[in-house]
Amino acid sequence: MSDLVLTERDGGVLVVTLNRPEVRNALNPALMDELSAVLRAADADRDVRAIVLTGAGPVFCAGLDLKAFTAGGDFTGLVWFFREGVATPVVAALNGPALAGGFELLLACDLVVAAEGAELGLAEVKRGLFAAGGGTTLSGRVPMAVALEMGLTGDPVTAARAREIGLVNRVVPADRVRAEALALAARIAANGPLGVAMTKRLMRERRWAEPEEIGKVFGSADAAEGARAFAERRPPVWTGE
């Protein structure tokens, strides 16, 4: 691993930082591949109960590194994350603008805390491209007219507007973004990991649970521990089993 992606543990939360501030954290193949590896490793680590994804410097992510794009290379390293995501809940901490591929990166996250001055948008059409990293699914998250305006004009919206249309959970001063995202992630991490993972999966897929899925969680050791802890008036100790 290089220093393109920084990681830091805070209890059950892993903070992941895109670290190319000199180019506004633009996504080149090396950064995409390293971020992919970090996310896969975090998702496989039972001690990581939530992830906070942020950027170094004043920008979350400016999208595709166009200089690297013109030089060629493999830009598919994060396709799996855009399409499938991870079982672990991910909170995006938008320390600044999230544009084009950076906007699609936040769409792959579950919750978003944004700085007051952050702008969000799908700028690909301004460069003769389109939002191939999941931006075209935006119409499933916001009204069609809003999605089409963002996608076809390439114009960004403010963090406040993004909150109005349901893309952002919190809008806070820039110096509070990390703390707010960590607090939100910690609240998730304090809950039963099997129940959290199943809730995320079913909500993402917009469906009811199948009987075997209900049995897996309701018959788990964590479910029994949750009930005991409630009866004994103490915090539960989760094992993920």
Residues 6+ apart with CB under 8 A from 211: none
Catalytic residues: 104, 124
The 10s digit of each residue's pLDDT in 182-222 is 999 999 999 999 999 999 999 999 999 999 999 999 999 99
Residues of the chain with CATH 3.90.226.10: 5-189
The 10s digit of each residue's pLDDT in 163-189 is 999 999 999 999 999 999 999 999 999
pLDDT score of 230 more than 80: yes
- State how far the Cα of 200 lies from the Cα of 60, in Å rounded to an integer: 24
pLDDT score of 1 more than 80: no
Query: Residue 61 CB: number of other CB atoms within 10 A?
Result: 30
Mean pLDDT of 13-34: 97
The 10s digit of each residue's pLDDT in 67-98 is 998 888 889 999 999 999 999 999 999 999 99
Q: Which residues pair with 50 in a beta bridge?
A: 13
Return the CATH number of 5-189, one of 3.40.50.12280, 3.90.226.10, 3.40.50.720, 2.60.40.10: 3.90.226.10
Q: What is the 3-state secondary structure (H, E, C) of 23-92?
A: HCCCECHHHHHHHHHHHHHHHHCCCCCEEEEEECCCCCECCECHHHHHHCCCCCCCHHHHHCCCCCCEEE
Predicted pLDDT at 2: 75
**What is the value of pTM for the model shown?**
0.95
- Give the number of C-alpha atoms closer than 13 A to the C-alpha of residue 3, restricted to the C-beta side: 3
- What share of the chain has pLDDT > 70, as a percent? 100
Predicted pLDDT at 72: 85
Predicted pLDDT at 73: 84
Q: Which two tokens stand for residue 43?
A: 């998702």
- State how far the Cα of 103 lies from the Cα of 123, in Å rounded to an integer: 9
Predicted pLDDT at 239: 93
Mean pLDDT of 126-154: 95
